[in-house]
Amino acid sequence: MGNCSEDSEMVEVVERSFFVKKVRRQKYRCRCGHIEAALGPPKLRGTQRYTPEFALEVATNKYLDHRRWNVRPAGWPDRG
Protein backbone atom coordinates (compact mmCIF):
# COMPACT_ATOMS: atom_id res chain seq x y z
CA MET A 1 0.00 0.00 0.00
CA GLY A 2 2.98 2.28 0.32
CA ASN A 3 2.98 5.46 2.36
CA CYS A 4 -0.72 6.45 2.45
CA SER A 5 -2.18 8.92 4.91
CA GLU A 6 -5.34 10.90 5.52
CA ASP A 7 -4.74 14.64 5.91
CA SER A 8 -7.02 17.13 7.65
CA GLU A 9 -6.87 20.71 8.90
CA MET A 10 -7.94 22.24 12.21
CA VAL A 11 -8.23 25.84 13.33
CA GLU A 12 -6.69 26.53 16.77
CA VAL A 13 -6.31 29.64 18.91
CA VAL A 14 -3.14 30.87 20.61
CA GLU A 15 -3.44 34.20 22.45
CA ARG A 16 -5.88 35.67 19.91
CA SER A 17 -3.81 34.36 17.03
CA PHE A 18 -5.66 31.90 14.84
CA PHE A 19 -3.79 29.47 12.64
CA VAL A 20 -4.50 26.35 10.65
CA LYS A 21 -2.71 23.28 11.92
CA LYS A 22 -2.27 20.45 9.42
CA VAL A 23 -2.65 16.95 10.83
CA ARG A 24 -1.42 13.84 9.04
CA ARG A 25 -2.89 10.52 10.18
CA GLN A 26 -1.37 7.26 9.02
CA LYS A 27 -3.71 4.89 7.16
CA TYR A 28 -3.58 1.16 7.76
CA ARG A 29 -4.95 -1.72 5.68
CA CYS A 30 -5.57 -5.27 6.80
CA ARG A 31 -5.32 -8.33 4.57
CA CYS A 32 -9.06 -8.35 3.85
CA GLY A 33 -8.77 -4.90 2.25
CA HIS A 34 -10.31 -2.85 5.08
CA ILE A 35 -8.61 0.57 5.38
CA GLU A 36 -8.69 2.66 8.55
CA ALA A 37 -6.90 5.83 9.64
CA ALA A 38 -5.24 6.34 13.03
CA LEU A 39 -7.09 8.40 15.63
CA GLY A 40 -6.70 12.14 15.30
CA PRO A 41 -6.75 14.94 17.87
CA PRO A 42 -10.02 15.72 19.68
CA LYS A 43 -12.59 17.86 17.83
CA LEU A 44 -16.11 19.01 18.59
CA ARG A 45 -17.56 16.47 16.20
CA GLY A 46 -15.80 13.81 14.19
CA THR A 47 -15.86 15.71 10.91
CA GLN A 48 -15.60 19.33 12.03
CA ARG A 49 -12.54 21.44 11.48
CA TYR A 50 -12.53 23.46 14.73
CA THR A 51 -10.86 22.48 17.98
CA PRO A 52 -12.72 22.81 21.32
CA GLU A 53 -10.38 25.68 22.28
CA PHE A 54 -11.34 27.64 19.15
CA ALA A 55 -15.07 27.12 19.74
CA LEU A 56 -14.73 28.18 23.38
CA GLU A 57 -12.85 31.34 22.35
CA VAL A 58 -15.51 32.29 19.79
CA ALA A 59 -18.43 31.60 22.16
CA THR A 60 -16.81 33.49 25.06
CA ASN A 61 -15.97 36.50 22.91
CA LYS A 62 -19.45 36.58 21.43
CA TYR A 63 -21.01 36.56 24.91
CA LEU A 64 -18.65 39.23 26.24
CA ASP A 65 -19.12 41.48 23.17
CA HIS A 66 -22.90 41.43 23.56
CA ARG A 67 -22.64 41.96 27.30
CA ARG A 68 -20.57 45.13 26.84
CA TRP A 69 -23.39 46.76 24.88
CA ASN A 70 -26.02 45.83 27.48
CA VAL A 71 -24.10 47.23 30.48
CA ARG A 72 -24.27 51.00 30.92
CA PRO A 73 -22.76 53.19 33.60
CA ALA A 74 -24.89 54.10 36.61
CA GLY A 75 -26.80 57.33 36.17
CA TRP A 76 -27.32 57.04 32.42
CA PRO A 77 -30.96 57.60 31.46
CA ASP A 78 -33.01 54.73 30.06
CA ARG A 79 -33.60 54.81 26.34
CA GLY A 80 -37.16 54.72 25.07
Using one digit for the tens of pLDDT, what is the confidence trace for 8-17? 888 887 677 7
Tell me how many domains the chain contains: 1
Residue 30 lies in a domain: yes
Residue 45 lies in a domain: yes
Residue 76 lies in a domain: no
pTM comes to 0.47
Residue 51 lies in a domain: yes
Residue 35 lies in a domain: yes
Who has greater pLDDT, 77 or 3?
3
Residue pLDDT, tens place only, 22-32: 888 889 998 99
Three-state SS at 59: helix
Residue pLDDT, tens place only, 55-75: 888 888 888 766 655 665 666
Domain hosting 38: range is 5-70
80, pLDDT greater than 50: no
What residues contact 57, with CB distance under 8 A and at least 6 apart? Answer: 13
What residues contact 7, with CB distance under 8 A and at least 6 apart? Answer: 22, 23, 24, 25
Residue 80 lies in a domain: no
Residue 59 lies in a domain: yes
Rounded alpha-carbon distances, angstroms, from residue 78 to 22, 71, 73, 74: 50, 12, 11, 10
